[in-house]
A and B are shown apart, each in its own frame.
Chain A
Amino acid sequence: GENVEQHPSTLSVQEGDSAVIKCTYSDSASNYFPWYKQELGKRPQLIIDIRSNVGEKKDQRIAVTLNKTAKHFSLHITETQPEDSAVYFCAARLGAQKLVFGQGTRLTINP
């Protein structure tokens, strides 16, 4: 089955700097890659996603890139703010709807 590896497990950056989180997946048939943000004590919420026919997608300060050949995708957050502090999960979908999640990255933005 699909396996998703996420790195780093923790990331600390200064406010205003950029943050990058990387994920790799194992099954080349995976076709959809969402990213979720989970604040402490809350539910995971979808923040951005990318499909396998697209190489990059951007939404304001966040962007996701996909390299199908290398089977990895990344989340980029620019001009980080304190409210960006959270746990971020990547995921990969194989077939109809089943998502496999990475282990998560705890992002801390230092003022």
Chain B
Amino acid sequence: DAGVIQSPRHEVTEMGQEVTLRCKPISGHDYLFWYRQTMMRGLELLIYFNNNVPIDDSGMPEDRFSAKMPNASFSTLKIQPSEPRDSAVYFCASSSLQGAGYTFGSGTRLTVV
């Protein structure tokens, strides 16, 4: 098992540009989570899916953020337009109801200049 796979590992973009982050969960995991990590706010849950359906998006900071999960093996987090305050590390994680805890991906370090 390759674990949770995120891409890209690093992204540098200019303010106003669209950014798309990608995640492939562990096969068989039916929950997928998007977290944002910053020094000031720690690990914040943005949104999570169960069986590809968004369950709780109350952590999505504003309408510039959107997330999709078109199938069990792929999810995207999109920011349009991006702003400097979106700079953070974005983690995707997956889990199963029977399992223990989450498995995190390696994260995407986003820098908006």
Q: How many B residues, CB 8 Å from partner?
A: 19
CA distance A100 to B107 in the complex (A): 18
Contact partner, B97, options A96, A100, A102, Cβ 8 Å: A96
Contact A96 B107 (CB under 8 A): no
Interface of chain B residues 65 through 104 with chain A (CB within 8 A): 91, 95, 97, 100-104
CA distance A104 to B111 in the complex (A): 23
A43 with B107, Cβ < 8 A, contacts A98-B56, A100-B45, A101-B42 known: yes
Interface size class of A (residues with CB under 8 A): 10 to 19
A64-83 contact mask (Cβ, 8 Å, vs B): 1 or 0: 00000000000000000000
CA distance A43 to B31 in the complex (A): 18
Which A residues are closer than 8 A to B by beta carbons? 34, 36, 42-46, 49, 89, 96-104
For this complex, 13 residue pairs linking A to B, each with C-beta atoms less than 8 Å apart, are A34-B101, A43-B104, A43-B107, A44-B91, A46-B100, A46-B102, A89-B42, A97-B97, A98-B45, A99-B33, A99-B102, A100-B45, A104-B42
